[in-house]
Structure 1
């Protein structure tokens, strides 16, 4: 039989229109195999759920391990960047250089003019602030800072 509905149809054929059993032996045989099929499907469901839970637990463990490694890399990057303070370093295995970037630092969002706010939800338009500051605008509580970003290849 290919599916459970086929078992039910075959079991129904073992009875007449009044519900009397025509072939009790075949009916019992089909019911036994149908029940085994149901049990097999249920066991497959339990197995799939258990495997999914195991995978979910492993994902969580891997995410925690990843976060630890990312934090370690970030901490070591900051340490090395602070130590080298912009100096280049190179060996056959690694090359450390820097690229300049600019970032807008906002001391107090309350002092930001409405033209630099992004609606829904209310956010500060740092790209617009940066453009205005580079254009010579002076905005209270906002400054343009130059940073050194370490590149490790």
Structure 2
């Protein structure tokens, strides 16, 4: 089957550009049917990709839940071992439980931290709030509501 841009070019070739007269009506009809079939197949590709994306999202949610549960199990096991071993080592053929020193910074008052140690965060625009404000009559420089056509395939 031809590519869509080839079909479109062939359709244009069936029409006399100066007069607008159809030069090859049978070929034009066949090309239009080919184009319709091509567009139909593209729509099916989009439908299938949408279904795939939804399935991937569901799998991501399931894996995220499993990951969270596994991490919670690790934390529970570490806390239980720390409580029961009381700082003593435990050495087995399959594993060793030991302790290592680490340092962390604990911040009691965030306002007392000098600015040089604060990482700047980029501002985040509340587009939903902006849209409501503009729709209710607010005039905000640089902000407009643009109506778009979004294609849907069901």
Query: TM range, normalised to the smaller chain?
Result: 0.5 to 0.7
Q: Which ranges of 4 or more aligned residues in structure 1 deviate by more than 6 Å?
A: none
For residue 21 of structure 2, give the secondary structure of its aligned residue in structure 1.
coil
- Partners of 2:111 and 2:13 in 1: how far apart? 83
Larger Rg: 1
1:25 corresponds in structure 2 to 26
1:15 corresponds in structure 2 to 15
* 1:65 aligns to 2:66 (yes or no): yes
Tell me the CA shift for residue 105 of structure 1: 4.5
- Partners of 2:55 and 2:113 in 1: how far apart? 52
TM-score, scaled to structure 1: 0.66
CA gap of 1:92–1:12, structure 2 versus 1, over 3 A, is same
Tell me the CA shift for residue 27 of structure 1: 0.9
For residue 41 of structure 2, give the secondary structure of its aligned residue in structure 1.
helix
Tell me the CA shift for residue 54 of structure 1: 1.1
Question: What are the ranges of 5 or more consecutive residues in structure 2 without an aligned counterpart?
Answer: 121-154
* 1:4 aligns to 2:4 (yes or no): yes
Aligned length, in residue pairs = 119
1:78 corresponds in structure 2 to 79
CA gap of 1:110–1:60, structure 2 versus 1, over 3 A, is closer
RMSD over aligned CA atoms reads 2.6
TM-score, scaled to structure 2: 0.65
For residue 48 of structure 1, give the secondary structure of its aligned residue in structure 2.
helix
- Counterparts of residues 52-131 of structure 1 (less than 5 Å): 52-105=53-106, 108-109=108-109, 118-120=117-119
